[in-house]
């Protein structure tokens, strides 16, 4: 968000935000229909959203939850990862990837990324960090670019590990959601589709998905809707569960958004291709990861600034010229809490990448002209910084 003073100083310039949700009349009508119907919690719309999401990803079923963080937690719980177990995790990720490991009492083991042009969790480093206590691995499809899922599946099977996909950045792309034992998706406001807050879980094994379904609602054996309709009159509690349910309002928005997701992803890919061409012309000093992707949801547009360029200065100058930017991500292993509890060896590739990474605006409302302006402006600021 831009401040009021910044808005006044940039009144003649169109402000370009990092990632705007696409919302309109269809979402308003969907919300009104829920309110008029009078049923607000898990009901027919949640079930329809689950079916539609599963179909889009080529699987039989899905379970809606109130966040991707909740989804990751339930993926770990339902696959029997618990106290004392070690889980291989990337440090180049949002902290929730690691938080979920702690929720089940397991120990995160931080793994480096492959390299600057492939900032995915490294198979080689993961293999070196396995111990007899290692029970699982979480791979994160950074920026919307799927990791090599077949290679990770082979690695997990050879070592008897549970493979979890953090698919927060990568809905409806490739084989994401089909190779992990379980996968969690995000519908947070800055994602490729949104329900404001919300998430979805997929799993290879139907029994895992049924555990997730039970765990999201206190471990109760019948739903409120079943009891309201007279299909059940009481219930049992069979496990320690959580209140991770998705409501009908968010599901209604999700159903509306889901209809456009493939088209929005395609537009993101078009914009990414235009970024690559424009940055090559205007900012050749900037390094581009994932230059030749085979498939992507194009959630983020990450670039690496030259090593001698002060990133905060560039970000401030971009903001002054009406362009928002961000950093994805500060390494989790360097946060104070994790440094104190889980001292980790240096992750040189992760630390180098994170120190230079800059995320540029990317969302379907951008035009080709917007991308040209961003590339030109970034090139100007980088050239200026290099000559200081």
- Written as one string, the DSSP assignment of 115-165 is ETTEEEE-HHHHHHT--TTEEEEEEE-GGG----HHHHHHHHHHHT-EEEE
Please check the confidence at residue 292 and state whether its pLDDT lies above 90. Answer: no
Catalytic residues: 191
Q: Are residue 279 and residue 231 in the same domain, yes or no?
A: no
End-of-domain residue from the set 258, 291, 314: 258
Average pLDDT over residues 13-38: 95
40 Cβ contact partners less than 8 Å away, ≥ 6 residues apart: 34, 247, 248, 249
Q: How far apart are CA 9 and CA 15, in angstroms?
A: 11
| One domain for residues 233 and 195 | yes
- Cα angle value 280/170/129 (rounded, 5°): 95
Domain coverage including residue 44: 25-258
Q: What is the pTM of this model?
A: 0.93
Give ∠ CA 165-303-152 in degrees, rounded to 5: 25
Specify the length of the chain in residues: 388
On whether residue 14 sits in a domain, the answer given is no
Do residues 238 and 279 both lie within one domain?
no
Residue 5 lies in a domain: no
Query: Of 220, 242, 258, which closes a domain?
Result: 258
Over the stretch 111-124, which tens digit does the pLDDT of each residue have?
999 999 999 999 99
The reply to whether 49 falls in a domain is: yes
The CATH number given to whatever domain includes residue 324 is 3.90.1150.10
Comparing CA positions, the residue from 115, 113, 120 lying closest to residue 141 is: 120
Specify the CATH number for the domain of residue 114.
3.40.640.10
Is residue 107's pLDDT more than 50?
yes
Q: Are residues 283 and 245 in the same domain?
A: no
Task: Cite the DSSP H helix spans in the chain.
Answer: 4-9, 25-37, 44-56, 68-78, 96-103, 123-128, 149-159, 206-215, 224-228, 248-258, 261-282, 311-320, 336-341, 348-356, 368-387
Is the preceding peptide bond at 329 cis, omega within 30 degrees of 0? Answer: yes
CB 325 within 8 A of CB 360: yes
Residue 127 lies in a domain: yes
Q: How far is CA 209 from the centre of its chain?
A: 20
Residue 17 lies in a domain: no
Report if residue 12 sits inside a domain: no
Q: Look at the chain and report how many structural domains it folds into.
A: 2
Q: Does 54 score more than 90 pLDDT?
A: yes
Structural domain includes residue 6: no
Q: Would you say residue 226 has pLDDT above 70?
A: no
Q: 258, 274, 293 — which closes off a domain?
A: 258
How confident is the model over 168-214, as pLDDT tens digits? 999 999 999 999 999 999 999 999 999 999 999 999 999 999 999 99
Q: Which residue has the tokens 């209140």?
A: 243
């Amino acid at each position: 968000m831009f401040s009021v003073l910044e808005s006044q100083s940039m009144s003649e310039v169109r402000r370009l935000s990092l990632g705007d949700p696409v919302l309109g009349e269809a979402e308003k009508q969907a919300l009104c229909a829920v309110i008029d119907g009078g049923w607000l919690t898990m009901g027919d719309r949640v079930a329809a959203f689950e079916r539609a999401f599963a179909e889009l990803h080529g699987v039989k079923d899905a379970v809606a939850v109130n966040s991707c963080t909740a989804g990751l937690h339930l993926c770990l719980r339902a696959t029997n990862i618990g106290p004392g177990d070690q889980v291989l995790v990337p440090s180049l990720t949002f902290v929730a990837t690691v938080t979920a490991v702690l929720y089940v009492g397991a120990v995160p083991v931080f793994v480096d990324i492959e390299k600057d042009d492939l900032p995915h969790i490294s198979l080689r480093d993961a293999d070196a960090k396995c111990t007899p206590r290692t029970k699982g691995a979480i791979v994160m499809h950074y920026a919307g670019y799927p990791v090599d899922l077949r290679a990770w599946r082979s690695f997990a099977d050879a070592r008897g590990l549970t493979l979890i996909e953090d698919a927060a950045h990568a809905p409806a792309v490739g084989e994401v959601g089909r190779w992990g034992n379980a996968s969690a998706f995000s519908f947070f406001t800055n994602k490729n589709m949104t329900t404001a807050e919300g998430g979805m879980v997929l799993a290879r094994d139907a029994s895992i998905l049924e555990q997730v379904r039970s765990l999201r609602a206190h471990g109760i054996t019948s739903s409120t809707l079943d009891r309201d309709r007279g299909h059940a009159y009481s219930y049992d509690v069979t496990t320690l569960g959580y209140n991770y349910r998705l409501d009908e309002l968010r599901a209604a928005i999700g159903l509306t958004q889901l209809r456009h997701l493939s088209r929005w992803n395609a537009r993101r890919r078009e914009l990414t291709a235009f970024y690559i061409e424009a940055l090559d012309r205007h900012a050749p000093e900037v390094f581009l990861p994932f230059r030749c992707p085979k498939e992507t949801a194009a959630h983020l547009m990450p670039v690496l600034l030259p090593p001698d360029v002060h990133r905060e200065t560039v970000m401030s100058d971009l903001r002054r010229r009406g362009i928002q930017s961000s950093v994805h991500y500060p390494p989790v292993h360097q946060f104070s809490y994790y440094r104190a509890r889980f001292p980790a060896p240096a992750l040189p590739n992760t630390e180098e990448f994170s120190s230079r990474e800059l995320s540029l605006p990317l969302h379907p409302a951008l035009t080709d002209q917007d991308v040209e302006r961003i590339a030109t402006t970034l090139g100007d600021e980088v050239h200026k910084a290099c000559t200081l």
